[in-house]
Amino acid sequence: MSTRGAASMNLRRVEDADRRTLSWGLAVLGLALGLLVARLPLVPLLLAMGGILILWGTFAEPLFGLGAALLIGPMRAWLEIQSSGMVPHAGQALLVLALVAWVARAVLRRDVNFAIPAGLVPLLIFIGVALLSLWEPVSEMAGILELLKWAQVLLVAILVYDRLRAGAVDSRWVVTLLAVSAGFQALVGLWQFGLLRLGSFTPVEIEGFVIDARFSRAYGFFQQPNPFAGFVGLVAALLAGITISVLVDRWRAGDLRTGLVAAAWSGAPALLIVAGLVASWSRGGWMGFAAAMLVIAALLPRRIWWGPVLLAALLGAGGLLYLTGQLPATVIDRLMGFLAYARFEDVRGVAVTDANYAVIERMAHWQAALGMWRDHFWVGIGLGGYETAYPAYRLISWVLPLGHAHNTYLNLAAEIGILGLVAYLVWLGSLAVRLLRALVRPQTLNDPWRRGLTLGLIGAWTHFAIHGAVDNLLVNNVHLHVGVLLALSVWVSEQRTGSRTGLTGDDQGACGKLM
């Protein structure tokens, strides 16, 4: 039999398996819904029906379950206050469901061929180096949980990459999953910003979040504004890059009206999410997003030399607005107040006031992380061990460990040493190089969507890197979203053709086998 005939037979076999799976799934779903309608009250019935629909939808398309995990996962901190037991871990349960469905579908189709693209190798190396730190950790359990988090980043990336590579889903749908999750959080945050002081939404004390005695800082379901800002800033940068690229492309073609319509798909949620970011009043979030927009602006022109010109113009315009007093005074005070204190120094003798409390607290934790790194320079105290080791390194006035050092780089240096920190920086650097190379390829230059996606991903990783200097973004299940961004980054960087999957034989040969 010829290769073409074998491929055609295999395709028919897969399609037949899909039809059988769909038929059995619909039959089981109908039976289950009938039993539920007959036996359950309304609210439990609706919950049960939703669970069954998610279950069936996930086995029909694993990214359906992953999308549910992306939506519900960031609610973990709020669910821990409202509920107990396994409810706060619903996002993790949905992730497991998606992974099981993904593997089960492949087994049923007899097509267990999951590719590990070359772009994920630096992350594998980082995870391997992090594993070295667990030889004699200060907390084995904390290390295992943190290692599991990074393993989930890798698994989510492989899952999404596999579905994109197979052409089972379009990259626009993957971006939509991220936009829906961040848009939902932004809506909640905007409600908190304007209306929360009129009534209690959560048991969290909000007095520390008050802005000018009129508004409250937005924090979504994260219970804290800074990680909320880190999350929505990631997706806002992604959508902003896509929107700007589409608008510029249609403007060049002399069809700006059509461009406005086309850009509304990403532009509308981008505006909503940016509004949520502003309402968070998070300095780290603002700086990360501002850096992302500057990088996008520098890379936007097709002619390289125009990039620095545009960047200089934007910086000059911002400086002029600042010098002429046109920028809001509250925003300037917020940013300048941070810069006045954000430096590496011994803060044990610094007088703490309401104005500098948050900054000095962060710097005290930086100082503790530096002490851990100094004593365990090469492999650190053990992945995830910062909170356990903190009492031995804390300053007298700062008792609470807060979970991490409020600086991703110092936190990694303390926990996995210089070797782990270098591996982490190599991973981020490899992503930047791959995306920059993809941006200048002819296929990308001639495809507005691909170019916009690439620009948006560069912006998202810029935000991730900058905000990481003042906080840890991988909390409240945000690492799942980072895994999706990683999959999109690797997928778009390995495209060499104009096909839907975008992989040539050479690219596929560069992939390893997971199973």
Q: Give the model's pLDDT for residue 109.
A: 80
| The most confident of 11-25, 174-188, 249-263, 315-329, by mean pLDDT | 174-188
Average pLDDT over residues 258-280: 90
Q: Which of 71-80, 299-308, 474-483 has the lowest mean pLDDT?
A: 299-308
* Chain mean pLDDT for the chain: 83
Q: Give the model's pLDDT for residue 163.
A: 94
User: CB of 10 within 8 A of CB of 44?
Assistant: no
Amino acid at 287: M
pLDDT bucket at 259, cuts 50 / 70 / 90: confident
Q: Which of 107-111, 258-262, 297-301, 480-484 has the lowest mean pLDDT?
A: 258-262
pLDDT of residue 3 exceeding 70: no
Q: Give the model's pLDDT for residue 343.
A: 59
pLDDT of residue 317 exceeding 80: no
Return the higher-pLDDT residue of 89 and 9: 89
Task: Kindly list the domain boundaries of the chain, sorted by start residue.
Answer: 1-112
Return the higher-pLDDT residue of 29 and 199: 29
Q: Give the model's pLDDT for residue 445.
A: 83
CA distances 342 to 155, 315, 375, 401, 410, Å, are 36, 22, 24, 19, 14
pLDDT of residue 77 exceeding 90: yes
Angle at 52 between CA 50 and CA 54, to 5 degrees: 70
**d(Cα 388, Cα 141) in Å, to the nearest integer?**
11
pLDDT in tens, 112-170: 787 789 999 999 999 999 999 999 999 999 999 999 999 999 999 999 999 999 899 99
pLDDT in tens, 17-43: 555 555 555 555 555 555 555 555 555
Tokens coding 224 = 């804290």
Q: Give the model's pLDDT for residue 362.
A: 87
User: CB of 484 within 8 A of CB of 492?
Assistant: no
Average pLDDT over residues 85-89: 84
Q: What is the sign, positive or negative, of the torsion defined by CA atoms of 308, 314, 315, 316?
A: positive
| The most confident of 46-50, 54-58, 83-87, 409-413, by mean pLDDT | 409-413
pLDDT of residue 515 exceeding 80: no
Q: Which of 206-220, 279-293, 310-324 has the lowest mean pLDDT?
A: 310-324
Q: Which of 2-11, 471-480, 485-494, 506-515 has the lowest mean pLDDT?
A: 506-515
Q: Give the model's pLDDT for residue 334.
A: 65
Average pLDDT over residues 408-416: 97
pLDDT bucket at 397, cuts 50 / 70 / 90: confident
DSSP string computed for 57-78: HHHH-HHHHHHHHHHHGGGHHH
**d(Cα 65, Cα 449) in Å, to the nearest integer?**
25
**d(Cα 444, Cα 438) in Å, to the nearest integer?**
7
pLDDT of residue 312 exceeding 90: no
Q: Give the model's pLDDT for residue 251.
A: 81
pLDDT in tens, 211-255: 776 788 999 999 999 999 999 999 999 999 999 998 888 887 777
Q: Give the model's pLDDT for residue 336.
A: 63
**d(Cα 86, Cα 311) in Å, to the nearest integer?**
49
Q: Which of 65-79, 161-175, 336-350 has the lowest mean pLDDT?
A: 336-350
Q: Give the model's pLDDT for residue 257.
A: 74
Q: Give the model's pLDDT for residue 236.
A: 98
Q: Which of 192-201, 443-452, 495-504 has the lowest mean pLDDT?
A: 495-504
Q: Give the model's pLDDT for residue 21.
A: 56
Average pLDDT over residues 475-487: 97
pTM (predicted TM-score): 0.87
**d(Cα 291, Cα 241) in Å, to the nearest integer?**
13
User: CB of 226 within 8 A of CB of 284?
Assistant: yes
Q: Which of 423-427, 428-432, 493-497 has the lowest mean pLDDT?
A: 493-497
Counting Cβ atoms within 10 Å, is residue 248 exposed (0-12), middle (13-18) or buried (19+)?
Answer: buried
Q: Give the model's pLDDT for residue 11.
A: 45
Q: Give the model's pLDDT for residue 200.
A: 44
Under DSSP, is residue 309 helix (H, G, I), strand (E, B) or coil? Answer: helix
Average pLDDT over residues 81-106: 90
pLDDT of residue 441 exceeding 60: yes
% of the chain at pLDDT higher than 90 = 55
